[in-house]
Amino acid sequence: MTKVLTLDNVTKRFGGLTAVGNVSFSINEGEIFGLIGPNGAGKTTIFNLITGVYTLSEGNIHFCDRKGAEHLVAQADPYGEGFFSDLKRRFVSKPKKPFEIAEFGITRTFQNIRLFKKLSVYENVLTACHRSAKYGLVSSVLPWKVPYTNIVYPWFKKQAAQEKLLNDKTEELLKMMGLWEERDLKAANLPYGLQRKLEIARALALDPSLLLLDEPAAGMNPEETLELLQLIKDIRDKFKLTVLIIEHHMDLVMNLCDRIYVLNFGKFLAEGLPSEIQNNKDVVEAYLGKEED
């Protein structure tokens, strides 16, 4: 089975604090893989390392895209400090930027929702769809249609056809997420649970093969959480995705994930099937505390 994402001895330090220490795991193609742990365990830090927000202190991260091409997403900075180190870092082994990693096929949602709040629901998703547009700056600025008509200039027919595809894609994603009726609302005016769904739709608009979900059920009621569980499964199946999810809602994790990796204070605690994690004494103690003698 193809390993889509591999973390090898990943470590991140902030000064004297080790936020993540020697974490290693791999995710197979098509899996829904859970990353759990108490607050402050280092889960979101791992997301930030995978997506290029933070640089590694030690270790490396590899990603295999839909075409089977291997990408070194991140590696530890070997150059240290100083002028010549900065030159080497810039020209020899430049860390991947978040947008470069997104182009490989890794997209994410955030613990704190990050939408274009002043844009409509429709515009939020359409903006992300335009990443795959083939036209350039000039053709995007010039008018495509004869004024006061729907007639497209002959030299812009290809761009107009592509624009229709992007709009069709936006419509499909919004309907799948149950947001089509709200398409003209400003994103800021959506209820919290629908904002979460909109963020997922926008991430899907980038055509990922690996989707990272950071606490997607946060702020949702039990009915919305149950709906989200089925929605994530449907998304995985429809778009043939691999999913890495951080979540504190244990019922969701246990019923959704194929495998689970548990962090505690930035280090490995346990890994296995949901049934194994659920009955793991160390995991129970990490969440609930150790019983005193």
Least confident of 14-23, 242-251, 265-274, 278-287: 278-287
Query: pLDDT at position 131, please?
Result: 73
8: region left, alpha or beta (phi > 0 left; psi from -120 to 50 alpha): beta
DSSP 183: T
Mean pLDDT of the 145-173 span: 77
Structure tokens at 86: 């900065």
Residue 155 pLDDT exceeds 60: no
Domains in the chain: ranges and CATH: 1-105+208-293 (3.40.50.300), 116-205 (3.40.50.300)
Query: pLDDT at position 133, please?
Result: 67
Query: pLDDT at position 161, please?
Result: 76
Neighbours of 92 (CB within 10 A): 9
pLDDT by residue (tens digit) across 11-70?
A: 999 988 999 999 999 999 999 999 999 988 999 999 999 999 999 999 999 999 998 899
Residue 83 pLDDT exceeds 60: no
Please tell me whether residue 24 adopts helix, strand or coil conformation.
strand
Q: Measured between alpha carbons, how far is 68 from 90 in angstroms, rounded to an integer?
A: 28
> How confident is the prediction for the chain on average, in pLDDT?
88
pLDDT by residue (tens digit) across 116-145?
A: 999 999 999 999 987 766 666 555 655 666
Contact 56, 75 (CB under 8 A): yes
Q: Measured between alpha carbons, how far is 58 from 47 in angstroms, rounded to an integer?
A: 15
Mean pLDDT of the 189-209 span: 94
186 closest CA partner among 121, 126, 102: 121
End-to-end Cα, the chain, rounded Å: 46
Strands 17-28 and 3-14: antiparallel
Contact 54, 75 (CB under 8 A): no
Residue 158 pLDDT exceeds 80: no
Please tell me whether residue 4 adopts helix, strand or coil conformation.
strand
For residues 155 and 151, which has the higher predicted lDDT (pLDDT)?
A: 151
Contact 218, 199 (CB under 8 A): no
Query: pLDDT at position 176, please?
Result: 94
Q: Measured between alpha carbons, how far is 232 from 241 in angstroms, rounded to an integer?
A: 10
